[in-house]
Amino acid sequence: MDNTRVFKMTFAGVYPMYIQKVEKKGRSKAEVDTILCWLTGYTPKTLQQQIDKKVDLETFFSAAPQLNPNVSKITGVICGYRVEEIKDKLMQKIRYMDKLIDELAKGRKMEKILRT
């Protein structure tokens, strides 16, 4: 499967969709930022810099300070694929992000989303 198109999507293009998705369900932008910082190791300031630079998803994850060591605890199905079985590491990171935002939109508690 050729994922090049997905990898070249800008994070700045995806981010507002995440915000919109969770706000419809009564959650907040701050919670999205908390999740993204937890996942990638970015600070709120460096996260905003990535948005301002309009980096693509590939660059967003390659520049991330450190993927959270608990990402292996993220399991389940997103977009028809089990996240723990995705072979392409970059696509797996993107799906981890999608899965966490989905859990937030579905009303899951932050402690559970952040695997604490």
| Among the listed residues 84, 66, 67, 64, the one whose alpha carbon sits nearest the alpha carbon of residue 76 | 84
CA dihedral 51, 82, 68, 17 (to 10 degrees): 20
| pLDDT greater than 90 at residue 99 | yes
Computed over every residue of the chain, the mean pLDDT equals 95
Mention every residue, 6+ apart, whose C-beta is less than 8 A from residue 104: 22, 25, 27, 31, 32, 35, 110, 113
All domains of the chain, ordered by start, with CATH?
4-108 (1.10.8.290)
Binning the chain into helix, strand and coil, the percentages to the nearest 5 are: 65, 5, 30
Q: Report yes or no: 36 and 97 within 8 Å, Cβ to Cβ.
A: yes
Residues 25-63: pLDDT tens digits? Answer: 999 999 999 999 999 999 999 999 999 999 999 999 999
| pLDDT greater than 90 at residue 12 | yes
Residues 55-71: pLDDT tens digits? Answer: 999 999 999 999 999 99
| pLDDT greater than 70 at residue 84 | yes
Q: How confident is the model at residue 41, as a pLDDT?
A: 98
Place of tokens 């028809």: 80
